[in-house]
């Protein structure tokens, strides 16, 4: 019985990890899940992240424009001024759609 009870709860957790809900968020807004989309966020939305000020927000936007977007959140560490310490503080608050 324990095995059977564990299965539905495991499956029920999966739908929350992605899907159409996040697509409803407007560009530059924080999404319902509380994450900032690196590919659509504007400077103000980026600055809501811990450790991201105006200069780093500008660097993120410049990088995004140059590269055509982020393919994954780890790519944020390629932006000048964004170190692993900053990334580790915000990795749970950012997303790439």
> Looking at 14-18, 35-39, 69-73, 74-78, which range is the least confident one?
14-18
- pLDDT band with cut points at 50, 70 and 90 for residue 33: low
Between 63 and 32, where is the model more confident? 63
Distance between CA 73 and CA 81 in Å, rounded? 15
At 16, is the secondary structure helix, strand, or coil?
helix
Looking at the predicted structure, is the pLDDT value of residue 9 above 70? no
Using pLDDT thresholds of 50, 70 and 90, give the confidence band for residue 97: confident
Q: What average pLDDT score do residues 2-28 get?
A: 42
Domains of the chain and any CATH numbers: 2-95 (1.10.150.320)
């Amino acid at each position: 019985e324990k095995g059977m009870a564990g299965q539905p709860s495991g499956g029920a957790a999966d739908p929350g990890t992605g899907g159409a809900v996040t697509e409803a968020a407007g560009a530059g807004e924080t999404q319902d899940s509380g994450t900032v989309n690196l590919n659509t966020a504007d400077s103000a939305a980026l600055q809501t992240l811990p450790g991201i000020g105006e200069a780093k927000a500008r660097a993120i936007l410049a990088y995004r424009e140059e590269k055509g977007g982020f393919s994954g959140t780890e790519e944020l560490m390629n932006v000048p001024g964004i170190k692993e310490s900053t990334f580790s503080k915000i990795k749970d608050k950012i997303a790439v759609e």
